[in-house]
Amino acid sequence: MLKFLKQVTDYTKEAVQAARFIGQGLSVTFDHMQRRPITVQYPYEKLIPSERFRGRIHFEFDKCISCEVCVRVCPINLPVVDWEFNKETKKKKLNHYSIDFGVCIFCGNCVEYCPTNCLSMTEEYDLSTYDRHELNFDNVALGRLPYKVTEDPMVQPLRELAYLPKGVLDPHGLPPGSRRAGKLPEEILEEAEGNGAK
Amino acid sequence: MNSGIDLQGSFIQLLVDLGLSAEAARVVWLPLPMLLVLVGATLGVLVTTWLERKISAAAQQRIGPEFAGPLGMLIPIADGLKLLVKEDIIPAKADSLLFTLGPAIVVIPVFLSFLIVPFGQNLLITDLGIGIFLWISLSSIAPIGLLMAGYASNNKYSLLGGLRAAAQSISYEIPLALSVVAIAMMSNSLSTVDIVQQQSGYGILGWNVWRQPIGFLIFWIAALAECERLPFDLPEAEEELVAGYQTEYAGIKFGLFYLGSYVNLVLSSLFVSVLYLGGWNFIIPIEVLADWLGVSESTPWLQVITGSLGIIMTLLKAYLLVFLAILLRWTLPRVRIDQLLDLGWKFLLPVSLVNLLLTAALKLAFPFAFGG
Amino acid sequence: MNLADGVQIVSFGVLALMMLGAALGVVLLENIVYSAFLLGGVFISIAGLYILLNAGFVAAAQVLIYVGAVNVLILFGIMLVNKRQNFVPLRNAWVGKATTAVVCLGLFALLGAMVLSTPWAISTAPVAGDTSTVVIGLHFFSDFLLPFELASVLLLMALIGAIVLARREFLPDALEREQTQQPVLTLPERPRELASAAPGSPDRTLGTSPTKRNV
């Protein structure tokens, strides 16, 4: 009988504890309701991509020496380099170059290894099209420069979380001259050089 | 006791004064409340879907619908229009008759249950003697529609979802009914009007929550399970069953399921507010306020205020519960099917039986407080 | 004839037609799922007839118990036991059919005779209406006490039986062994133990312990 009573009390305790935990969870959810939304309303507001953002790849046709390093370092050999050997100058002549961004994973290996720096990353990331074949960029399309978010009059640029002043979580309505938390890279560099001079 | 406004009486009197026979006047009156409640229920669903979106967004620090109308209030209308004009697809290997019948069978009983929801002394379609029992029996029809939809879709996920929905409905119907029985025992009646009457007189202190706290919790949990709201939304568990019995549905038939589930939520909240939160009663009894101000109870403007306050209070309580349901949705994770049935059969059922026995004992011991 | 009477007669006709049609469908349709759903239609029509007889409580109970519980259980049974097999054509199948026909006709004749012989006098007692729940309760605890209690004992027995069936430990061992020997519902997969027990098989990484894998 006592054992049974103990079971009943244990069960009741567990039930009460479960109810308390549910109440705790509810209070957390309720607390979240009065926080400001962190939504970035995309087509009208855009986050400023960070310096090392890996977006759509930019290609400079004239710099390319058709070495095909980009093809070799690419995980899936994606770039298509169409060249022919010019016997008179004994140099490769590039005819066409293309990358299919429907397949590219934006790993940046090609940019990293390109010996003449003719490949570079841009800030462009909204590549949506109605046909996936339109994502296959040829050398003309690859050579276009994207709009900068900060210069687009249609878009309100917003800073990313790491670029906000200390303690600020909401990028909306920052005062114009506000600085990000911590030192800027050039400041760190300057300090290091100053130390080195001493 | 017949206080408050008698809309039916005055309307018929008006028509009779205009020269119609009493019979014809009644015929003209008959469809009006039904139409009103139907429109009201649909409007309630629209508001609920908007609230669901906005509150969900707030709980997740988003904005939610914003551009369709002020504060995105037109988004439910856009939703409904979209579902209306979308193509109505019936899968090739589906059983088209049962496939079409399923959503209708799910929705009709829910709307029928609005027959007995009181918004005031005389503000309900019909004050049936079986009252709340009608709701319990009508809500037991829905599983048939769910099974029908699940079977007719010719899809294993649909069938599993339908079976789960039916199992869940049947299991949680019992604790629901038992906690309603405890209420009926206290108010000596099944009629919703009598149940609210019995809670009036002492303001907030007279509400059934204080006398039936366990029953209130059981009823709310079981009602959430009946509505397939999130801690218990196994029949349409996205990760396991795609969308359960709704998987193959599109267009207006899916819209009917959607409408049905939200009407059910609003209805359950209304019934919780009627059974446990004093229905149309204000926090302080109106009669006391009127006495205090020295206004006679039969003053026309006081009656109008009482009537509208009743409607507002009922809706306010119901939407408070809807808010709680939405908050619960974003707080609790989904339970597993065995946990669900364990909770239903091994926890809620014994506890509600104990609650029933306790109520009976208390009624015998303290007849003045527990409606002897 | 006033409005209420007209509505009553029309609804009676509709309900009776619905009930007869659905009942015939239950018996005559080939698809058993259709039959089960139509059975729900029969129960609903009967509930409608109860409402016409001013017995709201009985109608609601009919819907709750027969449509909400019995019919759903039947549907569950049908949908969970989805065994498709062709029936072996019996010789002398006509004997069974003939017996069925005779029994059915006999039952029909019996019921018909009873219907014809009963004096269908309309009761002059006042209609119970909304107080019918009280009247039913009084009958349950006075003159119908024995059937009521017997029914509850029957339900209790069914409940205990279901629990015994659900708890496997009370089943005799022989039955279980038979079941394990004939695995009917297994996936066409290789058993996991076999793959790990065979040393040197190419796919033994699946079964080996993590310490071995790290070596």
C-chain CB neighbours of B138 within 8 Å are 63
Least confident range of A51-55, A154-158, B284-288: B284-288
Q: Is any Cβ of chain B less than 8 angstroms from the Cβ of C80?
A: yes
Please determine, for residue C14, whether its predicted confidence score (pLDDT) is greater than 90.
yes
Name, in order, each residue with C-beta under 8 angstroms of C98's C-beta and a sequence gap of 6 or more.
Answer: none
Is the CB of B316 inside 8 Å of chain A's CB atoms?
Answer: no
- CB-based contact, B108 to chain C, within 8 Å: no
Under 8 Å between Cβ of B308 and B139: no
B260 against C166, higher pLDDT: B260
Question: Are B22 and B12 spatial neighbours (Cβ–Cβ below 8 Å)?
Answer: yes
Q: Are C176 and C182 in contact (CB under 8 A)?
A: no
The per-residue pLDDT for C211 is 45
Which regions in chain B score pLDDT beneath 50? 1-3
Q: With beta carbons under 8 A apart, name residues in chain A contacting B56.
A: none
d(CA A26, CA B252): 35
Per-residue burial over C14-30, b = 16 or more CB atoms within 10 Å of its CB, e = otherwise: ebeebbeebbebbeeee
Contact assessment for residue B254 and residue B90, using Cβ atoms and an 8 Å cutoff: no
Residue C157 has a pLDDT of: 93
* C-alpha pair distances (Å), B214 with each of A176, B342, B349, B356: 57, 18, 12, 10
Cβ atoms C56, B129 nearer than 8 A: yes
What's the CA gap between C157 and C137, in Å, rounded?
23
Model confidence at C213, in pLDDT bands (50, 70, 90)?
A: very low
Bin B353: left if φ > 0, else alpha if -120 < ψ < 50, else beta.
Answer: alpha
Q: What is the DSSP string of A60-119?
A: -GGG-----HHHHHSTT---EEEEEEETTTTEEEEEEEEEETTT-----HHHHH-TT--E
pLDDT of B36: 83
pLDDT band of C156, cuts 50, 70, 90: very high
User: What is the predicted pLDDT for the residue at C175?
Assistant: 54
pTM for the complete prediction?
Answer: 0.78
Task: Check whether A96 has a pLDDT greater than 80.
Answer: yes
C and A interact (at least 3 Cβ pairs within 8 A): no
Percent of chain B with pLDDT over 70: 97
Q: Report residue C201's pLDDT band, with 50, 70 and 90 as the boundaries.
A: very low
Give me the residue from B98, B141, B148 closest to C68, CB to CB.
Answer: B141
Report whether pLDDT(C154) > 90. Answer: yes
Question: A4-18: per-residue pLDDT in tens?
Answer: 889 889 988 988 998
Selection from C69, C71, C61 nearest residue C41 by Cα: C71
More confident residue, C199 or A162: A162
First to last CA, chain B: 19
Instruction: Work out the pLDDT band at C83, boundaries 50, 70, 90.
Output: low
pLDDT of residue C202: 46
User: One-letter amino acid identity for B341?
Assistant: L
Contact C57 B130 (CB under 8 A): yes
Average pLDDT, chain C: 78
The average confidence (pLDDT) of chain A is: 87
Amino acid present at B200 = S
pLDDT for the residue numbered C84: 65
Distance from the C5 Cα atom to the nearest Cα atom in chain B, whole angstroms: 13
Mean pLDDT for the stretch of residues A80-94:
89
Write out pLDDT tens, residues B339-355: 888 888 888 888 899 99
CA distance B141 to chain C (A): 5
Residue C210 confidence (pLDDT):
45
Instruction: Give me the residue from B59, B63, B328 closest to A32, CB to CB.
Output: B59
pLDDT for residue C207: 43
